[in-house]
Amino acid sequence: MANIPDDIFFEGIAAVNARWKAKEFSAVELARAFADRLERVGPRYNALALSLREPAIRKAKDLDDERKRERFRGPLQAVPFAVKDLLAVKGHPTTWGAKPYAGQVFDYTATVVERLVKTGGLLMGKLAMVELAGGPSYRYAAASLQGPGLNPWDRTRWSGGSSSGSGAAVAAGLVPFALGSETSGSILTPASFCGVTGLRPTYGLVSRYGAMALSWTLDKIGPLARSAEDCGIVLQAISGGDSDDPGSAGKSFYYAPQFSRAMKDITIGYAPVDFTDWPDPDARPALQKALEDIKALGVQVKETRLPDFPYGAILGTILGAEAASIFEELVQSGKVDTLADQRQIAGLKAAMDIPARDYLKAMRIRSLVQDAFRQLLADVDVLVTPSRMSIAGKVADPLDRGSGATRPRPQDRGMSSAIPAGNLAGLPALSMPCGFANDMPLGISLVGRPFTESTLIAMGREYQTRTDWHKRRPPVQG
C-alpha cells in the first residue's frame, strides 16, 4: 500500500479528489487508510457507530477502474465520508443511537447516502449520535449507545449533540466530511464546539427519506466539513426534490461560486448584545473579533434583533407532539425505559399528553414567526450571531447547568434565540470556526432567507480566505 501522508486526513474535498486524480494514491489505498484511522481513532472520541470498511474498499476498486478509463464524475469522487447513524444503509444496522433499536436493519438506503455514493463518494462508516437525535429532551452527554461524544480538542469536553460523532469525526480528521441532522441545533452546535464548518440547509431542500424522523416539520440533513466551500460541494450532491419525502421542496442547489453576489451588495444584520453581554466573558474577545472580520468583508451593516416570540416554547411543543406520535409504540411498549437518559424517557412519556389544541396553537404562532422573519429579512440579507455563546461544556456536567447558567440574562435578547427561531422558520444557517476561548473552538453563524445557501457560502468562503480558523487542528491527532 502507498504511504498515505498524514496531511490527507485534514485536506478539503477538492484537494483529496485532485490528489487521487493525479495518481498520488489509489482509491483503495485511500479507503484503507481512512478505515484504519476511523477504526483506530474513532472510538477514542466515541464517534464511531459502525465501520463499513469492506463495502468501501469494493467501491474504491470500481473508482480506480473509472480513473483508468478517465471517467471523472466530479469533486466528490473517491472522497471518503461518513454519516450520522440515523441514516439508513441497506443491510447494515441503523441504531438511531438508542438501545431499543440496536439491532435495527433496513432493506433500503437513505436518499442522501445514495446521492453521495452516486457521485463517487466513499462511505466509510456510520457515526455516533445522541439517542433518538435528542428529542424531545435529554440532560447528559452520555445519552448515546456509544457513550458521550468526546471533543477532539479536549476529551473531557462534549463534542455537541445530537450529531456528536459527525462533529468529532471531521475535527479529528477521521473523514473529510460527514452528514448530520438538525431539528434544533444539532448541526450548528457540534460544528461550533468541534471547530468545523456546518451547514443547516433550508427546510425541504434536502431529502430526509431513509432518515429517522424526530419532527416531520423541523428535521433537516446537512454537512459538517472543513470549509464553507466543502459544504457547498456536498450540498449540491445531496439537495434536490424527492417524491419519497413529503416535506421535499422540490428544489436543487448548484454550487457556482463564480456567480456569487459581491460582498458590497450584501447587508448583514446583527445585535451588539450578542457579542458583548450574552457570551461567556472568556468567549467575547474572539466573537467580537469575528464580527469585525465579517464587517471587513465589505458588506453593509445594520443593527437588528429577532422578533419577540417565545421560540423555545413553540419549538418544544411542536417537537414534543410530533416525537410522541413518531415514538408512540416505543413508549406504549415500555421499551422507552431502556433509553440511557432519564430526562429523555420522561420527556417522551410527557409528550404523549400534549393536547392537540396546544400543538395547533404552536403551529399557528409558528406561521406568525415565519411572517415576522420575512419582514426582518426584507431589510437585511444575512443575520450574524454566535453559533453558541460558550465553548463546549464538560462531558459529565448536566446540560442545563452549563456555562452561563448562573449568570443573569441580559434584558435585551438580541438574537440569542437564533437556533430555535431559525429552525421554526426553516432558514438556512452556516456555522464557521472563528477563534478560541480557553483553547476550545468557537463558531459564528450566518443565517439567511430560505434557499439562499449560495449567499451564506459565498460569505463563508470570503471569510475563510481571510482567516485560518477552519485550518486549525486538534493538538492530539492520533
pLDDT digits (tens, 9 = 90+) for 122-146: 999 999 999 999 988 999 999 999 9
Total domains present in the chain: 1
Question: What are the angstrom distances between the C-alpha of 169 and each of 45, 46, 229, 344, 462?
Answer: 8, 10, 18, 25, 25
Q: What is the mean pLDDT of residues 349-353?
A: 97
Task: Answer yes or no: is 456 within a domain.
Answer: yes
pLDDT at 379: 94
Task: Answer yes or no: is 1 within a domain.
Answer: no
pLDDT at 386: 98
Measured distance CA(397)–CA(51) in Å, rounded: 30
pLDDT at 357: 98
pLDDT at 476: 67
| Percent of the chain topping pLDDT 90 | 94
* Model confidence pLDDT, tens digit, residues 179-234: 999 999 999 999 999 999 999 999 999 999 999 999 999 999 999 999 999 999 99
Catalytic residue positions? 84, 162, 186
Q: Inform me whether the pLDDT recorded for 1 exceeds 50.
A: no
Task: Answer yes or no: is 416 within a domain.
Answer: yes
Measured distance CA(194)–CA(150) in Å, rounded: 10
Q: Inform me whether the pLDDT recorded for 102 exceeds 60.
A: yes
Mean pLDDT of the chain: 96
pLDDT tier, 300 (very low <50, low <70, confident <90, very high otherwise) = very high
* Model confidence pLDDT, tens digit, residues 429-455: 999 999 999 999 999 999 999 999 999
Q: Inform me whether the pLDDT recorded for 474 exceeds 70.
A: yes
Range in 40-49, 255-264, 280-289, 464-473 with the lowest mean pLDDT = 255-264
Task: Answer yes or no: is 419 within a domain.
Answer: yes
Q: Which three cell numbers stand for residue 366?
A: 409558528
pLDDT tier, 477 (very low <50, low <70, confident <90, very high otherwise) = low
Instruction: Identify which has the larger pLDDT, 252 or 475.
Output: 252
Give residue 334's domain range.
6-478
Residue identified by cell 399557528 is 364
Q: What is the mean pLDDT of residues 95-117?
A: 98
> What CATH number corresponds to the domain at position 314?
3.90.1300.10
Residues near 249 by beta carbon (within 8 Å), at least 6 away in sequence: 202, 203, 204, 205, 241, 451
Q: Which three cell numbers stand for residue 374?
A: 420575512
